[in-house]
Amino acid sequence: MKWRYHIPPLAALNAFVAYARTGGIRRAAVALGVDHAVVSRHLRDLETALGVGLRNRTEGGLSPQGHEYYARIAPLLDGLARATADMRGQMPQLTLTCSHGIAYHWLLPRLPAFRQLHPGVDVLLRPVDSDCRFDPERIDTVLHADIRYINDLHPLRDPPRIQALELARPLVFPVASPECLRRLAHPPRTAADLLHAPLLIEDNDTEWRVWFAAQSVNVAQVSGHSRLWQAHLALAAARAGEGIALANTYLLEDDLKAGRLVRVTTTDVPLRDVTLGSYVLRSTDQAWQARPFALLRTWLEAQFHTGSETLVTKDHHAPPKKRLPIMP
């Protein structure tokens, strides 16, 4: 085992991986919490010890040998860090990002149960509007996971080394306040009648058009009563009696129970069940293997499964949800 004695110092290896992931000596220094001169010295020493240039000094970044070395040692250093943290009983903070609607109306009331079940896992819930773009090369002491509603018309287009798991594929249906429905000239008889009702549209009318098409109502454009930025705002407008919104149970479970919102139905031709997308959990390969994320992932799957009556698949013997392919 003499080869073990020729392993470069761990500090130099960490500096190299930090440089590879951040793309700069100063950024690597910030990530490691050291002076940039320290990172520069470690890189020079490592190149001297290996006898090859790891950096492309003309264009910046890594040389071909540097890319090869990074690809082989980075997973080993990550595994070493995880193993050490596990032995010490340490678990890093986990940041969970998701849209405002699922954060406020579904996840926030349930998180205390997770914290009680796993008091050692520090979860920071961070609602964000835009889709999260993961960078698997980034150095981060905080694990990051994201729950996002992925519309079927806009499939995942994440970079390599990103894991994705479908948590739920909920039914989407129109809802309104009882007051709003009472103001309609007459109860809708078919889905087409809703075209004359005050419809609340999010950023665009795509989801409404797809929903109407599933009801055999083809329309080039849906004229909305009000245009809002996201489902969270559309549901707020629906609660205020401004019109009819499209939503799923995960966004309005409490509203349906309290009667603030009700499902819109038709008298002559029943509305068909429609799905437009899925809630998907995503993270990097590195975070996916970490124990805090594994605990959260298992808990989320159980929580979403509890509301499985809202899913298309109601068969108790249906196959389990699978990892989603990531489109290049």
Supply the pLDDT for residue 31: 76
**Amino acid letter, residue 13:** L
Say how many residues make up the chain.
328
pLDDT at 91: 61
Q: Which of 133, 169, 134 is nearest to 150 (CA)?
A: 169
Rg (CA), the chain: 25
DSSP of 65-90, one letter per residue?
HHHHHHHHHHHHHHHHHHHHHHHHT-
- The DSSP element (H or E) to which 238 belongs, if any, is helix 231-239
Residue 66: the pLDDT is 93
Residues 76 and 46: beta-carbon distance below 8 Å: no
Helices 10-22/36-50 angle, 10° precision:
110
Burial of 84 (0-12, 13-18, 19+ CB in 10 A): exposed
- The torsion defined by the Cα of 236, 239, 244 and 246, in degrees rounded to 10, comes to 50
Which domains, ranges and CATH numbers included, belong to the chain?
A: 2-88 (1.10.10.10), 94-170+276-310 (3.40.190.10), 173-263 (3.40.190.10)
The crossing angle, in degrees rounded to 10, of helices 249-258 and 231-239 is: 10
pLDDT, residue 280, reads 94
Per-residue pLDDT 10s for the chain (328 aa) are 555 567 889 999 999 998 988 888 988 888 788 898 999 999 999 999 999 999 988 888 899 999 999 999 988 887 787 677 666 656 667 889 998 889 988 999 999 999 888 888 889 898 887 767 665 555 455 688 999 999 898 887 777 788 899 999 999 999 999 999 999 989 999 999 999 999 998 878 889 999 999 999 998 888 766 666 677 788 889 999 999 999 999 988 889 999 999 999 999 999 999 999 999 999 988 788 888 899 999 999 999 887 544 443 333 233 334 445 444 3
pLDDT at 327: 40
DSSP 243-301: -BEEE-HHHHHHHHHHTSSEE---SSSPPPP---EEEEEEEEHHHHTSHHHHHHHHHHH
